[in-house]
Chains A and B, each alone.
Chain A
Amino acid sequence: MSEEMMEGEVVKKFMYINRRAPYGSIYALESLEVVLIGAAFDQDVSLAFVDDGVFELKKDQETAGIDMKNFSPTYRALEMYDVEKLYVSKESMDARGLTVDDLIVDVEVKTDAELADLFDDQDVIFSF
């Protein structure tokens, strides 16, 4: 385990893997709520957006017509919570015809092979 003691607290590497599109189900929104609450715990947090999870970051979301809350701006606010490691699967974006220009927030694009290494390096994996 890559745990280290910092000020008496165990710091773990948390990876949130987001694989669902927004609005069709609540997973994307409620997983973001976990990330926001979790930010207060000072763990080493990363978010990965793979499969349909890349659609969470699509810019220009307009939800008035479906009477649901547009939570996509919150991804831009993550930086204020010191959640700065956002990774997006290149293959998942390619498969869905998306480029970084389509995204609402700055991310690091990684290949699936790079993401596999990253997942391996974590202590805890949250799946949404």
Chain B
Amino acid sequence: MSILHTVNKSPFEKSSLDSCLKYAKGGSAVLLYEDGVYAALKGTNMEDKVKSAAQGIKFYVLGPDLKARGIADDRVIDGIAIVDYAGFVDLSVESDKVSAWV
């Protein structure tokens, strides 16, 4: 069984990503969207935590939310895949269920 976890909060303001990572098991996926996309940036004090979590969990970030916030693709941590809303749908289909860390 695999879960798609969705996180829509900035990790610099709220602890949703931390909570999510406590419960996200190896083999599951995390989609960062809305203000959650800030967790996908290189050069932040969250980068090490995200990279370390990314060893067992696949990270995705929503492209339209990145673009809206002025973040170019090359600012995203290597290995985090950029998806659009259709990709979000595909991830939901591929996982067994979706858990929203709102």
A91, A112, A121, A127: the one contacting B99 at CB < 8 Å is A127
Given contacts A51-B15, A116-B22, A120-B1, A127 and B97 within 8 Å (CB-CB): no
Enumerate chain B residues within 8 angstroms of A54, measured Cβ to Cβ: none
A123 is an interface residue with CB less than 8 A from chain B: yes
B100 is an interface residue with CB less than 8 A from chain A: yes
Main secondary structure of the interface of A (DSSP, over half): mixed
Shortest Cβ gap from A87 to chain B (Å) = 12
Shortest Cβ gap from A117 to chain B (Å) = 8
B residues bordering A, Cβ < 8 Å? 1-3, 15, 19, 22-25, 96-102
A residues bordering B, Cβ < 8 Å? 1, 17, 19, 50-51, 91, 112, 115-117, 119-125, 127
